[in-house]
Amino acid sequence: MSKKIKIALTILFVIIAFDSYGQSNAFRVTLDAGHGDHDFGAVYSGRVEKNIALAIVLKVGKILEAYPKIDVIYTRKTDEFIDLVERANIANRADSHIFVSIHCNANKNTAADGTETYVMGMNKIASNLEAAKKENAVITLEKDYKQKYEGFDPNSPETMIGMTLMQEEYLENSISLASKVEDKFALLGKKIRQGGVKQAPFMVLHKAYMPRVLIETGFISNPTEGDLLNSEDGQNDIARAIADAIISYKYEFFGDGGAETFGDKPSQLLKENTVKNSETPAEENKPIIKKDTVGSIYKIQFFFNKNKLATESIKLKGLQNIPLVFEDDAYEFICDENYGAVV
């Protein structure tokens, strides 16, 4: 082999290696356009939520794709129906750093207007629960949804509340991203509906193992705001605001370079939970009752996590002096009648 060929091959190898590293080190964003196909979402005077959400997502993606070291993953790029849990799993399999679901709001009161940005969580405000119920109702269009979602009923507040116990892992970063979205909307002159960043149990956010937000870009039921959302200029403005918020989040948490995933990757968590759900009988998922070796004191394992939680974590709200056991490479949080109850 000649010296020139060796040099050329070496250069080619370096370029390929550098490109592969750059791709693996990219900041990955999964964009989710709400609804699709036979699920139209809200429809008012010819304004269709599924179409507006997709148009905005594609515009956000185009802006982000122009930036180096940002990879964009789409749950859908056409008018198709994607199960809610599959939308989250698309992000998980891609090891995305954030998940952004985009929707339009609607209300019988056609004067209602403004944007709302939600994170996964439980806020007992009725309007937040109603918003989640409305978006979660789409699961009834999915085949075998009762089995797939383990008995979840989108019309039952009790099952919605039960979703949230283990969903606060990424809350702080999710709130940061949501706040940036609202700040960018405010710069556009958009009305930010009262309450700031909101928490609600959205099923589409439930299974995404990363910081995630759901954005209600405005009310298509409002003639003025709806027409703006349905217009090219209005969609461009919204898309620019969302993209700027995502870029700002990236710079704050990952700097100007690429991004690294610390701890378990979403794809690993997805695999672990899939194996756990398929191999563990339903009755074994109930709280584990532990009996002390002395006397007849019973304790309940109410939480199980690979990471040790800070005492001020929202997951432990209302609990004091919680006993902590490290066993089988994970932390077990246990309590009895002396330790209070989750509120």
The per-residue pLDDT for range 11-34, each reduced to its tens digit, is 554 444 444 444 458 999 999 999
Residues 150-180: tens digit of each pLDDT: 555 545 555 544 444 445 568 889 999 999 9
Single out the residue of 326, 287, 275, 279 nearest to residue 305, CA to CA. 326
Same domain, 159 and 227: yes
Largest CA distance in the chain: 82
Q: 71-85, 134-148, 274-288: lowest mean pLDDT where? A: 274-288
Query: Which amino acid would we find at residue 219?
Result: F
Query: The domain containing residue 161 runs over which residues?
Result: 3-254
Between residues 91 and 295, the one the model is more confident about: 91
From 254, 279, 297, give the residue that closes a domain.
254
Same domain, 195 and 306: no
pLDDT in tens, 224-263: 999 999 999 999 999 999 999 999 999 999 988 777 766 6
Bridge-partner residues for 117, per DSSP? 215
Q: Specify whether 238 is located in the same domain as 320.
A: no
Radius of gyration of the chain (CA): 23
Proportion of the chain above pLDDT 70, given as a percent:
57
Residue whose tokens read 């515009």: 59
Same domain, 114 and 159: yes
Structure-model confidence comparison of residues 199 and 245, the more confident one: 245
Given a cut of 50, is residue 307 above it in pLDDT?
yes
Strand 98-105 to 212-219 pairing: parallel
Average pLDDT of 56-69? 96
237 and 302, same domain (yes or no):
no
Domain count, the chain: 2
Sign of CA dihedral 195, 75, 87, 304: negative
- Of 125-139, 181-195, 218-232, which gets the smallest average pLDDT? 125-139
- Residue 284: per-residue pLDDT: 39
Q: What is the pLDDT of residue 202?
A: 76
Give a yes or no: residue 175 inside a domain: yes
Written as six digits, the tokens of 108 are: 């019988």
pLDDT of residue 82 exceeding 80, the answer is: yes
In a domain, 268, yes or no: no
The pLDDT assigned to 146 comes to: 53
Q: Say if residue 153 is in the same domain as residue 294.
A: no
Same domain, 101 and 166: yes
Predicted confidence (pLDDT) per residue in 103-131, tens digit: 999 999 999 999 999 988 755 444 545 55
Q: Does the pLDDT at position 132 exceed 70?
A: no
Q: Is the pLDDT of residue 86 over 70?
A: yes
- Among 254, 270, 304, which residue terminates a domain? 254
User: Cα–Cα distance between 320 and 316 in angstroms, integer?
Assistant: 8
**Non-local CB neighbours of 160 within 8 Å, separated by 6+ positions:** 122, 129, 132, 133, 136, 154, 201
Same structural domain, 78 and 154: yes
- Contact between 114 and 227 (Cβ < 8 Å): no
pTM: 0.68
* 144 and 23 inside one domain: yes
